[in-house]
Structure 1
Amino acid sequence: MGNITKRGTRSKVIDRPSTEPVRLKALHSKLYEAIMREDCTTIETLLRNHPVNQPMTVLANSTCYRLLLNQTQSIIPIHLAAKYQKAQSLLCLLEHGADPEIRDTRGHTTLHLMLLHWPITSATWTEPVNRLQRIQTDTQNHAVMCLHILCEHGALVNAQADNNYKYSPLHLATRYGIYPVLSILAQNDAHVNATDKSCMTPLHLAAGILNKEMTEMLIACGANVNCTISTTGNTALKLAVCTASTKAGRLLAADISCIRLLLTNGAKVNAQDHKGQTAIHEACFGGREAIINLLLEFEADVNILTRNGEAPIFMFLQHRSNIRDTTLLDKLLYLSYPLKLTNNQGILPTGLLLPEFLLLKETLIRLLQKPLSLQVICKNNIRKFYGEKYKQHLKQLLPLKIWDSIYSYYHISQLLK
């Protein structure tokens, strides 16, 4: 009877908060701080109670490396060391079993994260002369040291990010213009012709942004200059020409030295994509004379047709601004033989259909319908055979009067009279 209690008088059970989360929080904070200070002795001690590949959850404002007030972040120790270029901490973690291939929530390995957080520095000086430049140089050197450490400890230099882009480390380095990384990755057997989710190689990325230095380094590392994107058939040359020929490329006078670099290293100037378009089609569509002249210098075929029967001059005549450039129009008319103004459906270029170019359209159609004399046919064939590249060489072989006759051409302004 003594054990019976009155109804409704049961004693309350008091839930005491567990000390485990508090202890774990303190452990994570200490390990975070030790990695940032590169205190390897403390790191080794803390790893006895914390699995090296287990994420840490810390308050970002609990250290000097804060993000937002009271914001928490979960990060794996080796990822933290890599993101902040803490070489000694990185080496210590690897020696204690850290897995460089463990991925974050976005599918990035340690090497990917290091490249995504590579320090942005200026390379305009040969030797640092002030405090800021010395800090930037030191930061860059620490990043390079971390990269060497990762490669020496088995990081997979060809691992693709587990996301929509499937970038390899070389793709990331190229995408973000991290020039010093390319040769290091290549020396550690990175596949220079690896493709991403879009079937693009690092060279495609470099050429597409007209980065001459990256393009040159990738070629030196063995990149296939004529590799095509399987989904489109585009080459690095065509991507570079496309970028430099855009409206922004014309307005900003984008450097075309990357295009010349590709050509001098064996890029096939007349390579066609899946639609049959070549670099000269893109250049003519953009109407940038410097690029057209450069391609002609490397024997671009100005009469090659797309799958839809479009000649380069057809692409040129698509834009009003191109047609107003009578000097370039004269040159393309002079080189186009046989002249083809329509596509396979018999449709004329859009620009030529504008009311302001009615007289030009009628003149070109008459020119197209006019039978060519045997003399004109011979001249056209000679120009087509020798091209622009050997134009001056032919001048040394022929009498000047004959050479002038072959390479003289009418001006559209004269035809419109």
Structure 2
Amino acid sequence: MLEDIEYIAETSKTQKPARWYTRLWRACLCCGCLCNQKKKLQPCLTGYEPVGILQRAASTGDLYTLEQLINSNHFHIDECDRKNRTSLHYACAHNHVDVVTLLLDYDCSIDIQDDEGCTPLIKAAQEDNLGCICVLLWVGADPHLKDFSGHTALHHAVLRGNIATVEKLLEFNADIEAKTEYGLTPLQLAICENDYQMAEFLTSKGANAHSVDDLN
């Protein structure tokens, strides 16, 4: 846990005033975003193993250690690893909504991009982590940002076939006609993936059905 670092005994433990979204993840329980989810430690995602102690605490959902590290003044809230991933990236990748809200309460950067151009919102969409997506969007994460392949969080949600995530992103005005580096809109991407249920849903939400003709 903390045995590999030394703390200054006189470190201030002054309480920070709670922000309006500090316990937003609990509110998500009421609206169904986190229904039936049980808190448990998850194995690290392949290719997404944390290196720094701050990122490790975020990836395992260790709130106590994370807050102690932040308050020790030995670590910056937006400290990045060698792939430019912050603790918020790891919390979103591993679906720790309570860690996400804690980091946001300490004013972490919400739209920072890693070495693949992924924001925390995009990473949450890649892993179907709807609870994290809800919190990020409520606090102001930009759904229009693209990774270095031109994919927005909406494109990734379509690739995952996750209608609930797509609906939430559209609720926060994600661009339904955004194009990847190959010029594919979310609807065209759904057709390419033979996901006709997703295609029908996007069309019902206003996607340009005529754009499908461009695939032929």
TM-score if structure 2 supplies the norm length?
0.74
Relative to structure 1, the CA distance from residue 275 to residue 107 in structure 2 (aligned partners, 3 Å threshold; closer, same or farther) is closer
CA distance in 1, matches of 2:96, 2:122: 16
Distance 1:210-1:107 versus aligned 2 partners, 3 A rule: closer
Cα distance in 2 for partners of 1:107, 1:179 equals 17
Q: How does 1:228-307 map to 2 (within 5 A)?
A: 228-229=146-147, 231-244=148-161, 255-304=162-211
| Distance in 1 between residues matched to 2:168 and 2:50, nearest whole Å | 35
**Which residue identity is paired with 2:141?**
A
C-alpha contact (below 8 Å) 1:284/1:313 kept by paired residues: no
How do 1:169-184 and structure 2 match up within 5 A? 169-184=87-102
Distance verdict in 2 for CA 1:197–1:212, change over 3 Å: same
Larger relative contact order (CA 8 Å, sep ≥ 6): 2
- Is the Cα contact below 8 Å between 1:242 and 1:283 reproduced in 2? yes
How far off its partner does 1:228 sit?
1.4
2:72 is aligned to 153
Alignment of 1:131-150 (within 5 A): 143-150=62-69
User: Which whole-Å CA distance do the structure 1 matches of 2:137 and 2:80 have between them?
Assistant: 21
| Offset at residue 266 of structure 1 (A) | 0.3
Give the secondary-structure state (helix, strand or coil) at the position aligned to 2:7. helix
* 2:23 matched residue in structure 1: none
Question: Partner residue of 1:203?
Answer: 121
**C-alpha deviations, 1:234-279, integer Å up to 9, x for none?**
11101110121xxxxxxxxxx4201100011101101112221100
Cα deviation, residue 97, structure 1: 9.1
Q: Distance in 1 between matches of 2:137 and 2:202?
A: 20
1:386-417, CA deviations, whole angstroms, 9 ceiling, x for partnerless residues?
xxxxxxxxxxxxxxxxxxxxxxxxxxxxxxxx
Instruction: Give the Å deviation of 1:204.
Output: 0.6
The unaligned stretches of length 5 or more in structure 1 are: 1-34, 37-75, 79-92, 99-105, 120-142, 245-254, 305-311, 316-340, 342-417
Aligned to 1:189: 107
- Report deviation, 1:289: 2.7
Q: Distance in 2 between matches of 1:287 and 1:200?
A: 25
Q: Distance in 2 between matches of 1:297 and 1:262?
A: 15
- Alignment partner of 2:177: what SS? coil
Q: Which residue is 2:143 aligned to?
A: 225
Secondary structure class of the residue paired with 1:293? helix
Q: 2:47 aligned with 1:114, yes or no?
A: no
Return the alpha-carbon distance in structure 2 between the equivalents of residues 114 and 169 of structure 1. 8
Contact 2:95-2:131 within 8 A present in 1 as well: no
Q: Which amino acid aligns with 2:171?
A: T
Amino acid at match of 1:109: G
Q: What fraction of aligned residue pairs are identical, expressed as a percent?
A: 20
Whether the 8 Å CA contact 2:58–2:88 is kept in 1: the answer is: no
Aligned to 1:410: none
CA deviation after TM superposition for structure 1 residue 314, in Å: 6.2
The offset of 1:109, in angstroms, is 3.2
- In 1, the alpha carbon distance for the partners of 2:123 and 2:87 equals 13
- In the aligned structure 2, how far is the partner of 1:110 from the partner of 1:97? 22
More helix by share: 1
Alignment correspondent of 1:327: none
Report the 3-state secondary structure (helix = DSSP H, G, I; strand = E; otherwise coil) of the residue aligned with 2:108. Answer: coil
Contact 2:57/2:63 (<8 A) preserved = no
Look up the equivalent residue of 2:176 and give its one-letter code. Answer: V
Tell me, which stretches of 5 or more residues in structure 2 are unaligned? 12-48
**What TM-score results when the alignment is normalised by the length of structure 1?**
0.40
1-structure distance, mates of 2:166, 2:186: 10
For the aligned residues, what is the CA RMSD? 2.4
- Alpha-carbon distance between aligned partners in 2 of 1:263 and 1:296, rounded to the nearest angstrom: 12
Query: Which structure: larger Rg?
Result: 1
Separation in 1, partners of 2:128, 2:201 = 15
Matches within 5 A, 1:10-409: 77-78=4-5, 93-96=6-9, 108-116=51-59, 118=60, 143-154=62-73, 155-162=75-82, 165-229=83-147, 231-244=148-161, 255-304=162-211, 312-313=212-213, 315=215, 341=216
Map Cα deviations across residues 320-343 of structure 1 (whole Å, 9 max, x no partner). xxxxxxxxxxxxxxxxxxxxx4xx
